[in-house]
Amino acid sequence: MSEPMSNENKGAIAQFLAAPPDSVGKTLFVAISVCLVASMIVSTAAVSLRPTQEANKLRDKQVNILQVAGLYDPASDVTEAFAAFEPQVLDLESGEFTDAFDAATFDDLAAADDPELSRALEDDPASIGRQARFRTVYLLRDDAGELDKVILPLHGYGLWSTLYGFIAIEENGNDIFGLQFYSHAETPGLGAEVDNPRWKQQWNGKRLHDDAGTLQITVSKSAPAAGADFHVDGLAGATLTTRGVDNLVKFWMGEEGYALFLDKLQAGEF
């Protein structure tokens, strides 16, 4: 049985109830109650919406991979269309796929922060701080099972933000099919013109290496000596974002990135 309320307690409650509505006690009581209720609503919403947010994030990534591979159709089911891709975890140090992780669930961003799975970069042209040893890549095969394209994630700093995106490379390991970013905070109308379909279209048909095997792809105002096959126009009024994209593409296609894997692709190993 609960204890009967003491006279002292009864007095305090009666005093509180009898106080005018704008008393300090009642004002504080209402303010704290509103804060408590609001924080409970916000945290319940945050927890209950997390699965939906995760599902949307995954869908967004799948849409981006479909888009960069030229396979996105808004009328089709994204999950079904995405099933065409074969995800693989790539070991950048060997250029080989590894079974050490499940490619369907491997968390690239978490791995890039894990000291066991990444290393600090001394020479860091893409301004990413650490380089992951493993990345999830996506293979696309034709009906005969022959490799058609590979979709490789890449990221690097622009002017205001890290740009995250994908590059689609043809099965020969040298011809670019497309490039697009799915996350950045560059300025609309300036650096954010990386999302302009006309700019993105330029990547189609460009080549990474010249016939001597030298990495020549360049994003700049003027064409490099290697020629138009290796050149994507810089963004007007956004030289710094342009430089960031140039740096990150060269970094990821180079020795510290996918170079070993691209060599193997060129040799037809997959």
Ligand X SMILES: Cc1cc2nc3c(=O)[nH]c(=O)nc-3n(C[C@H](O)[C@H](O)[C@H](O)COP(=O)(O)O)c2cc1C
Name which position in 137, 181, 186, 194 contacts ligand X (CB under 6 A): 186
Beta strands 218-220 and 231-233 are parallel
Does the protein bind ligand X through residue 195 (CB under 6 A)?
A: no
- Least Å from the CB of residue 240 to ligand X: 3
Q: What's the CA angle centered on 72, arms 187 and 86, to 5 degrees?
A: 105
User: How many residues sit in the footprint of ligand X (CB under 6 A)?
Assistant: 11
- Least Å from the CB of residue 182 to ligand X: 17
- Residues 238-267 within binding reach of ligand X (CB under 6 A): 238-241
- Residues 197-216 within binding reach of ligand X (CB under 6 A): none
Does the protein bind ligand X through residue 190 (CB under 6 A)?
A: yes
Residue 201: closest CA among 31, 10, 68: 68
Residue 159: closest CA among 188, 135, 121: 188
- Token pair 């609309």 is found at 188
Task: Identify which range of 29-37, 138-146, 197-205, 232-240 contacts ligand X by CB under 6 A.
Answer: 232-240
In this complex, which beta carbon is closest to ligand X, that of residue 215 or of residue 240? 240
- Token pair 């996105």 is found at 72
- Least Å from the CB of residue 197 to ligand X: 18
In this complex, which beta carbon is closest to ligand X, that of residue 127 or of residue 187? 187
In this complex, which beta carbon is closest to ligand X, that of residue 71 or of residue 190? 190
220: left (phi over 0), alpha (psi -120 to 50) or beta: beta
In this complex, which beta carbon is closest to ligand X, that of residue 190 or of residue 260? 190
Whether the CB-CB separation of 121 and 131 falls below 8 Å is answered with yes
Name which position in 126, 150, 159, 167 contacts ligand X (CB under 6 A): 159
- Least Å from the CB of residue 222 to ligand X: 12
Residue 128: closest CA among 117, 137, 119, 116: 119
- Least Å from the CB of residue 242 to ligand X: 6
- Token pair 């950045």 is found at 184
Write each residue from 94 to 133 as x if it is in contact with ligand X (CB under 6 A), else as -, in one continuous string.
----------------------------------------
Q: How far apart are CA 119 and CA 68, in angstroms?
A: 28
The two tokens of residue 157 are: 């700093």
Whether the CB-CB separation of 199 and 233 falls below 8 Å is answered with yes
Whether the CB-CB separation of 252 and 124 falls below 8 Å is answered with no
Task: Identify which range of 39-47, 80-88, 108-116, 186-194 contacts ligand X by CB under 6 A.
Answer: 186-194
78-85 long-range contacts, CB within 8 A, separation 24+? 84/140, 85/138, 85/139, 85/140, 85/151
- Least Å from the CB of residue 165 to ligand X: 15
Does the protein bind ligand X through residue 187 (CB under 6 A)?
A: yes
- Least Å from the CB of residue 180 to ligand X: 17
Which chain residues interact with ligand X by CB under 6 A? 159-160, 186-187, 190-191, 237-241
